[in-house]
Amino acid sequence: MLNIRFIAKMLGTMFLLETLFMGVAAAVALSCGEDDRYPLLLSAAILFGTGLVFYLVGRHANEQAAGHREGMLIVALSWILLSLLGMLPFYLGGYIDNVTDAYFETMSGYTTTGATILTDIEALPHGLLLWRSLTQWQGGIGVVVFTVALLPLFGGGASQMFEAETSGTGIAHERFRPRVTQVAKRFSGIYLLLTLLLTLLLWIGPMDLFDAANHAFTTVSTGGYSTRNASIGFWRSAYIEYVLAFFMFAGSVSMTLLYFFLKGNFRKLFGDEELRWFFFIIALFTGITTAWIAYNGWAANLGEAFRLALFHIISLISSCGYMTADYLSWGAFFWLLTLLIMFVGGCAGSTSGGLKVGRFVIIYKNLSNVFLRQMHPNAVLPVRMNRHVVSPDNVYRCLAFAFVYLSLIMAGSLILSLGGSRFDEAIGATISCISNIGPGLGEQGPSGNYAGLPDVSKWTLSFLMVVGRLEIFTILTIFLPGFWKQ
């Protein structure tokens, strides 16, 4: 039987911790004396009360009887229910006047997608702007990882949660296996360090402290929410663009590698094959885009063309989704490049979305071996990553992941097409949401605004956001009949 008490206890723990984050946003609203203080305080009270009830129901749970099924349910329900509770400040305050849009906006935050239904972001008061950014900051590292890191305060451990939230991300490394709580604390520490450093660098530039903190939250998480309608283009600053490009890149690198790098083990970072491929893909697409922009005269000089290309390529492949220019005006050729890099995504074990470069490389190498076996049928050609043989089971999992990933893109595109979206808008929005990026094509172009879509399309995209954020299998496995059998 499912350990319902354990599930309730872990969800209650998350809700109680989430109250602290919402309380910070409420404190900012109070200090600014704006109207959002009341809905934020009321929502925080509802969140705390819900968390307390869940925690008391499960306080005597037998943690030893919990397994992978409980872990998967906790992780899936955490994103679904936190989005439901997290939307309350928007809805109760009347800033978003319907449940569908409020849920879509909040799910986009927690999954670090960055898609929005808001047409005038600058009209939001400071407390809600901060809350919007904090949802992405938590979603980037994973609400579950934060919870696991702080579980000793509540008494107990939850390795099942950690394993379910990080399934398929490549975090489990053969030389990096301390206790789960220690792993979560180390990752959270790195995450906090990057956030503080980026806040300082942005504050030194043309941003004020509030804008700097908000953009640090949404950059390190590769989320992409901005406090400005024009996003990063509002500042027209080469300094900000290069700083953000570096941190978007860092956010797309495996947390494990960043940990070893900060410990002084530089060889592990520079010797990682997935990271080398990631760097090569960025360099290749940046070079092509720079040449395309310069050839068509869309930049004043080659330096500006390079900056535009580098910023947008890193923003898209990292799934951050910041924009400084209308890339739709760069023609259908760049639209195709956009879809390709959105599909691939960042490195495994990072905050970015997409298929992940590691899986892409494994699939590519397996395909190469298929062609080689046509000429040498008896040859033994294992797939290798970092000079280690990838087991056939992992190769099959990568192939299965890619198949399901493409199938969901096709299904989502069909549903959006039935809702009236054009072909380019349907496929662009679907890839963008399942890869947790935000901007798409057509009406959902650089602004990443989905306000004009019908409710069915928004619920479909909300589902794709959480499926993509949790690496597909965690969510879809729950729908299998065998999952619910004893």
pLDDT above 90: residue 157 = no
The pLDDT tens digits for 217-239 are 999 999 999 999 999 999 999 99
* Mean pLDDT (the chain, rounded): 89
Q: Provide the pLDDT for residue 176.
A: 42
Tokens (6 digits) for 104: 């879509």
pLDDT above 70: residue 446 = yes
Q: Provide the pLDDT for residue 269.
A: 83
Band of residue 387 on the pLDDT scale cut at 50, 70, 90: confident
pTM equals: 0.92
Q: Provide the pLDDT for residue 179.
A: 64
Q: Provide the pLDDT for residue 33.
A: 92
The C-alpha atoms of residue 358 and residue 348 are separated, in whole angstroms, by 6
The pLDDT tens digits for 187-198 are 888 899 999 999
Q: How far is residue 201 from each of residues 69, 243, 244, 252, measured CA to CA in Å?
A: 43, 8, 10, 19
Q: Flag the least confident range among 73-87, 107-121, 171-185, 310-324.
A: 171-185
Which segment, 288-292, 323-327, 471-475, is predicted with the most confidence on average?
288-292
Share of the chain above pLDDT 70, in %: 91
The C-alpha atoms of residue 71 and residue 57 are separated, in whole angstroms, by 18
Band of residue 268 on the pLDDT scale cut at 50, 70, 90: confident
Q: How many CB atoms lie within 10 A of CB 482?
A: 6
Q: Provide the pLDDT for residue 355.
A: 92
The C-alpha atoms of residue 391 and residue 387 are separated, in whole angstroms, by 13
| CA-based nearest residue to 427, from 470, 464, 476, 473 | 464
Q: Provide the pLDDT for residue 162.
A: 53
Q: Flag the least confident range among 33-47, 101-115, 383-397.
A: 383-397
The C-alpha atoms of residue 164 and residue 13 are separated, in whole angstroms, by 17
Which segment, 146-155, 178-187, 433-442, is predicted with the most confidence on average?
433-442
pLDDT above 90: residue 180 = no
Which phi and psi (to 5°) does residue 192 adopt? -65, -40
Instruction: Work out the average pLDDT over 445-450.
Output: 91
Band of residue 150 on the pLDDT scale cut at 50, 70, 90: low
- Dihedral over alpha carbons 358, 360, 361, 362 (to 10 degrees): 90
The pLDDT tens digits for 118-147 are 999 999 999 999 999 999 999 988 766 765
Report the length, in residues, of the chain: 486
Tokens (6 digits) for 173: 């490394």
| CA-based nearest residue to 143, from 216, 86, 203, 92 | 86
Angle, CA of 81, 463 and 434, to the nearest 5° = 125
More confident residue, 380 or 455: 455
Q: Flag the least confident range among 105-114, 140-149, 202-211.
A: 140-149
Instruction: Work out the average pLDDT over 417-440.
Output: 95
pLDDT above 90: residue 260 = no
pLDDT above 50: residue 151 = yes
Q: Provide the pLDDT for residue 165.
A: 53
Under 8 Å between Cβ of 195 and 217 = yes
The pLDDT tens digits for 293-350 are 999 999 999 999 999 999 999 999 999 999 999 999 999 999 999 999 999 999 988 8
Q: Provide the pLDDT for residue 293.
A: 97
The pLDDT tens digits for 389-417 are 999 999 999 999 999 999 999 999 999 99
